[in-house]
Structure 1
């Protein structure tokens, strides 16, 4: 099984991002009744989160004696230096809240970054109780990361050998790719991946260019850093690239029965943090009874159903609430009712041949549409044309790959003319 794809969660601003990150951190802590390990990050992105953790409403909910605090990378400068990552975290919340023995800083008062890397690797191994990582027993409960302007994470820079290191826990980096140009010490990608949750914070207009490259799937350290379990990107409105910032308010996932509309729609909703609704739930009882009896619906049957979905889309658009709805939407006339002419409603067309989808339908249980109606659906289907600006994806792929393809097309596709 491959590494799970990340969930993208859009928030209003940096304050909302800090609160969402703090809440997720508390959820992760609450899931472990034993010793807890959190891996922090440096830079400017997490400072608001750290200060929030020091406030009474969060501070009182953290079992400080059980939580150990590590850091994903460090600048090779003495503790107390303004560039020192763990010093920033200590000043923001650790010194006031955490037991001193639970703060695990990378030692930087050694003779070289490599010496520091080796010392920190020994500390991590001692904490873990082994010198080899077991995927079934993650080192960290949560790893916090940001994304650098070049796509680096921790101090793993694009094109640097350290990105490809698989046989070490920590490496020294002699020269940084971006400012400040000081040597670094960094955990490697396999060690960062050894976590229950990997959480990225991405905020500010200065992150727009690199986030566009990340969402487009470019081979960058930020796209290689993934938890073996769950990865979440918290992205504030100002960081979304111009095209991604114009993501539609509504997505209609369309296709014939058994093409996977609900499965893909739900997965897409989880990744975007959007509400998902199955269009079947908008059918009036008479339509459900008719289909259960094996009778195809007429257009007269469909109009009130389509209008009910269109009304829900309009309601959500008016309130600024993004929504994903699965709906067969087989004919262009049906889609005109659903989409109309707004620029912020997009079609996601799940494309597949009769043989593949027929096989899926044969294994489907508990749905009110019998397999015999599939032929009538294909006969009715009018695939969306270029003038409808659909996002077209093949259903002959794993669900997460389909969602990746959809997000990639939405992120880098052209706006509707």
Structure 2
């Protein structure tokens, strides 16, 4: 018997598959899925669309909103998966304010694979090598005790199944 609702984070830089894997993971465990991109301010979206990377100040309110979403779902007894870049350790700490038991899936890929994926994206506010370079520069790769690391060259089904197995989560 489950004692508390699941709070899961699918993290990585743009192009790593956070939304795709996050939706698949949520579907597999019958959880709610939230794409963190849907919660950026219009100012931040416009900034990224101009090719300007966000800074810590730009991200602060966005991360607190996501932490509040984790808290709300937990209070309602509902499982939730959020797909969010969560590049820095302190960003993940902010998210844990809403979900202290947060389980993290870190999607890792080479610069080449990420650029290929970004190029195939189509109509999205975040594109280009400059923006990816900014995220990779900001990325603080989570340690093994903080997150389960998965290579994005694996199939989405394999990533989801491996993560659930490693975390002891049974759909």
| Aligned-partner Cα distance in 1 for 2:106–2:5 | 15
| Match of residue 141 from structure 2 | 383
SS of aligned partner of 2:121: coil
| Match of residue 277 from structure 1 | 34
| Aligned-partner Cα distance in 1 for 2:6–2:16 | 23
Give TM-score, length-normalised by structure 1: 0.39
Give TM-score, length-normalised by structure 2: 0.92
| Aligned-partner Cα distance in 1 for 2:159–2:11 | 13
| Aligned-partner Cα distance in 2 for 1:379–1:331 | 10
Residue ranges of structure 2 left out of the alignment (5+ in a row): none
Residue 94 of structure 2 corresponds to residue 362 of structure 1 = no
Deviations 1:20-47 (A, max 9, x none): xxxxxxxxxxxxxxxxxxxxxxxxxxxx
Aligned counterpart in structure 2 of residue 374 of structure 1, from 102, 108, 132: 132
| Match of residue 302 from structure 1 | 59
Query: Structure with the greater relative contact order (CA < 8 A, sep ≥ 6): 1 or 2?
Result: 2
Residue 101 of structure 2 corresponds to residue 344 of structure 1 = yes
| Aligned-partner Cα distance in 1 for 2:49–2:159 | 30
| Aligned-partner Cα distance in 2 for 1:259–1:347 | 14
Please say if residues 70 and 99 of structure 2, whose CA atoms lie closer than 8 Å, have aligned partners that are also in contact: no
RMSD of equivalent CA atoms = 1.7
Paired residues, number: 168
Please say if residues 7 and 99 of structure 2, whose CA atoms lie closer than 8 Å, have aligned partners that are also in contact: no
Q: 1:331 to 1:342 in 2, by over 3 A?
A: same
Deviations 1:240-287 (A, max 9, x none): xxxxx4686210110000000000000111111101010001111110
Aligned counterpart in structure 1 of residue 50 of structure 2, from 271, 275, 293: 293
Q: 1:246 to 1:397 in 2, by over 3 A?
A: farther
* Shift of residue 342, structure 1, vs aligned partner: 4.9
Please say if residues 248 and 345 of structure 1, whose CA atoms lie closer than 8 Å, have aligned partners that are also in contact: no
| Aligned-partner Cα distance in 1 for 2:75–2:167 | 22
Runs of 4+ in structure 1 off by over 6 angstroms are none
Residue 122 of structure 2 corresponds to residue 399 of structure 1 = no
Q: 1:314 to 1:306 in 2, by over 3 A?
A: same
Q: 1:343 to 1:307 in 2, by over 3 A?
A: closer
| Aligned-partner Cα distance in 2 for 1:342–1:259 | 23
| Match of residue 6 from structure 2 | 249
| Match of residue 316 from structure 1 | 73
